Structure 1
């Protein structure tokens, strides 16, 4: 079974990716001083909301309130979010380890 923190971080990363698609270089540079941290916070919040929404859709599907296709779509979106988050986490860890190996 997957740890919920992994699911949430995956959703955050996917949301960050989606959010970054609409930002051009000029919009990022002209942002406030906490631009990067603000984007990460917003993406994390969006990811948590996506996970909660998917969970609610799955519960409604089990109660018979929603059709199977809606439940499957929500599950697939959550799975995609998880895969992207895990991939991004692995890349961040790899980059951090590479920085640690650099000679001073």
Structure 2
């Protein structure tokens, strides 16, 4: 017959639990609190970035017409603009759908 392994003492288990709890507490104390932004601030920032992207793309396209920028840079700028427009249209569609849901709610 094989011998059974010795049981772990409850003191050892409690000690391990306390040390792991202290490690978690130390980790959470080191986390810095960041300022939370409101939804309108986040939306305003996203809109400003999209508008900036449009202006940058227009500048690259004008430079391309003048021959100072190669075709690859024009294509990259156009793809970035397409991505921004797709996101803007998706957000608009979600806002319209949410507004329509609000209008359908009974008073």
Matches for 1:1-104 after TM superposition, within 5 Å: 27=34, 30-31=35-36, 35-104=38-107
Structure 1 residue runs of 5 or longer lacking an equivalent are: 1-25
Structure 2 residue runs of 5 or longer lacking an equivalent are: 1-32
| SS in structure 2 at match of 1:70 | helix
Can you list the C-alpha shifts for 1:42-93, whole angstroms capped at 9, x where unaligned?
2222111111000000000111101100001101111121122112211110
Runs of 4+ in structure 1 off by over 4 angstroms are: none
Once residues 106 and 72 of structure 2 are traced to their aligned partners in structure 1, the CA distance between those partners, rounded to angstroms, is 53
Once residues 44 and 85 of structure 1 are traced to their aligned partners in structure 2, the CA distance between those partners, rounded to angstroms, is 8
When the two structures are superposed, what TM-score results if normalisation uses the length of structure 2?
A: 0.63
- For the pair shown, the structure with the greater C-alpha radius of gyration is 2
Higher helix share: 1
Aligned position for 1:17: none
When the two structures are superposed, what TM-score results if normalisation uses the length of structure 1?
A: 0.64
Q: Alignment RMSD, CA only?
A: 1.7
